[in-house]
Amino acid sequence: MEQAPAVPRNHPPAWARAFVAVFLTAFVACGLGAGELWPLTRWHLFSAVRQPIQVGWRAVTVDAAGRETPLPVGQLPLAYRGAPLLVGRFDKLTPAEQASLCDSLIAGVRSLGRNVLALRIYRVTKDESIRVGARAAPETVALRYTCAHGTVQAAGP
Amino acid sequence: MRRIERWIFSAGTPERLAAIRIGLCSALALRLTRTVYLSIAGQPHSLYRPLSFMHLLHSMPPWGVVLPIQVVGGVAAVLAALGWRARHTLPLAWACGLLLGGMTTSLGKVVHNDVLLLLCMVPLLPAPVSDAWSLDARAGRTKPGDPMRYGWPVQTALIVVAGSYFFSGFAKLVNSGPAWALGSNMRWVLYISSDSRPSPDHWSLFIADRAWLAHLVAASILLLELGFPIVLFWKRARPAFVAGAILFHLGTWLTLGLDYWAQAATVAIVLIDWPALVARARGRSNATKGAAEARPRTQPPDLRPEPRAAR
């Protein structure tokens, strides 16, 4: 520890000691993984090792002609910024939450003036270790869910 | 433990605390000018993923609530930086920043961009932050006195900065072990980031395509994070860690597109002893001025002929 700049004249007030003790204890406890009490956090920043095989989820919209278009996340309002993350947890949502999420996404895309009849959610597998130029090798996709008219239909295992 | 306590509660200067107040409040004011808060206001309920205290709210606050909070928070942050009624404006700015930051972290992913800034402001909330370099001091509203009042907020903020980086490294070791740096983890991180962009990112690919470089970058990050507590013990190491943190966040922005300028700025604001830097710069400037004034006396006499008078 560095030297104190001057000889203390008085003791700091008791409330200051208590305040610092509580704050630092909470900061250290959360930092050691006790909990995520934002802004007190566990500091999990890219802490999990990434693997070359990436399994993700992708939502596409389906128009009246049956044409598929990727969910235009970049054109949707910022409020939808977390949508891909939520689609990625679709499996873990309750049926009611799944239906509600689908409805919100469909409504969001319709607000852009697009014709949307249904939403399809695909499971996407990509191997980052196989490179084709500057990109990963083409991914494999499998349909998992179809949302239409307020219902969610599971497809495949 | 006693030693740590003595270090935290050592004497300080009102100027050092004021410098941190000015820096952190200015950074917060800039953060509160972002349009992201209004964009996510009134988000559809099904997309709302509250975290921490945001569970108290049923859904994302509406536009009509967010706008006044953002305006009040921004103005309060500027006033706190200027040191106007800072005992009130600083906590107000912090509370507004906390709520708005809570909104951005309730989109489905923990957002860390403003966390260090908000946490380093916590020890300033009850501290006498405007006893120097402030409008309050100019107006005679403060009573500068006991140096023991100014040390602990600065030392606590230092611990928070060092701890934030240390815990980031610690989480990597706990969750992944040495494989985080020794395996191909960094290559996959960079490839995934590049592939998720509309066009490939050349900075990411430059590192990811060279395994040795990816290992070096990963090991450097881990070393920087785990070594950060050194700044608490060794004052001279602080400039190196400030430079390392800025370089690290610049690299993260270039390769992953993650904007952590507020965190890098917080590190510089807290770790650098700004009053000492200003005093040194003034001393150097005075020394230069003094030398310039002394120069004519020491210079040899000018033996050149007098210029001819104009005819």
In a domain, B307, yes or no: no
Both B161 and B209 in one domain: the answer is yes
Bridging pattern class, strands A53-62 and A118-127: antiparallel
Q: Are residues B72 and B159 in the same domain?
A: no
The closest alpha carbon to A56, from A148, A138, A139, belongs to A139
In a domain, B303, yes or no: no
Q: Which residue of A has its CA nearest to B110?
A: A38
Of B145, B173, B193, which closes a domain? Answer: B145
Distance CA A59, CA B69 (A): 34
Locus of tokens 């009040």: B72
pLDDT of residue B63: 94
Which residues of chain B, if any, have pLDDT below 70? 292-311
Taking CB atoms and an 8 Å cutoff, what residues of chain A touch B109?
82, 85
What is the average pLDDT across A18-37?
97
In-domain check, residue B71: yes
Query: CA-CA distance, B15 to B147, in Å (whole number)?
Result: 11
> Would B293 be classed as within a structural domain?
no
Instruction: Identify the domain boundary among B120, B145, B170.
Output: B145
- Whether the CB-CB separation of A32 and A20 falls below 8 Å is answered with no
Residue B250 lies in a domain: yes
Q: How far is CA B243 from the centre of its chain?
A: 12
How confident is the model over A44-88, as pLDDT tens digits? 999 999 999 999 899 999 999 999 999 998 888 878 877 888 888
Per-residue pLDDT, A10: 62
The label of the residue with tokens 């975290």 reads: B51
Per-residue pLDDT, B306: 46
Residue contact A4–B7, C-beta within 8 A: yes
Q: A97: which chain B residues are within 8 Å (Cβ-Cβ)?
A: 46
Q: What is the pLDDT of residue A84?
A: 81
Please count the structural domains in chain B.
2
The predicted structure's pLDDT at residue A141? 94
Test A8 with B9 for CB contact under 8 angstroms. yes
Q: Are B92 and B139 members of one domain?
A: yes
pLDDT score, position B163: 98
What is the count of residue pairs from A and B with beta carbons less than 8 Å apart? 195
Q: Are residues B159 and B121 in the same domain?
A: no
Domain end call among B108, B128, B145: B145
Cβ-based neighbour number of residue B179 at 10 Å: 13
- If phi > 0 it is left, if psi is from -120 to 50 it is alpha, else beta; for residue B233 that is alpha
The DSSP output letter for A141 is E
Question: Which pLDDT band, with edges at 50, 70 and 90, does A7 fall under?
Answer: very low
B240 and B125 inside one domain: no
Q: Are B27 and A19 in contact (CB under 8 A)?
A: no
Contact B103, B73 (CB under 8 A): no
Residue B216 within a domain:
yes
Residue B296 lies in a domain: no
Based on the domain organization, do B184 and B125 belong to the same domain?
A: no
Please give the residue of chain B at the shortest CA–CA distance from A139.
Answer: B195
Which pLDDT score is estimated for B308? Answer: 46
Cα B66 off chain centre by: 25
**What pLDDT, on a 0 to 100 scale, did the predictor assign at position A88?**
86
- Cα–Cα distance between A13 and B300 in angstroms, integer? 62
Q: What is the ipTM of this complex?
A: 0.90
CB–CB of B191 and A16 under 8 A?
A: no
Q: What local confidence, expressed as pLDDT, does residue A6 receive?
A: 47
Nearest by CB to A37, which of B42, B52, B148?
A: B52
Give the domain ranges of chain A.
Answer: 10-48, 53-154
List the A68-70 sheet strands across, edge first.
A68-70, A53-62, A118-127, A140-148, A151-154
pLDDT tens, residue by residue, A124-141: 999 999 999 999 999 999
To the nearest whole Å, the CA of B199 is away from the closest chain A CA by 9
One domain, residues B167 and B111? no
Do residue B171 and residue B138 come from a single domain?
A: no
Q: Which residues contact B153 (CB under 8 A, 6 or more apart)?
A: B12, B17, B20, B123, B124, B127, B129
Range of the domain at B26: 14-145
Task: Kindly tell me if the per-residue pLDDT of A12 is higher than 90.
Answer: no
Verify that B110 and B214 share a domain, yes or no: no
B302/A96: higher pLDDT? A96
Pair B141, B195 in one domain: no
Chain B residue whose CA is closest to A82: B107
B91 and B119 assigned to the same domain? yes
> Quick one: CA torsion of B157, B7, B162, A20, rounded to 10 degrees?
-50
- Contact assignment for A27 to B235 by CB distance below 8 Å: no
B138 lies in a domain?
A: yes
* B266 shares its domain with B161: yes
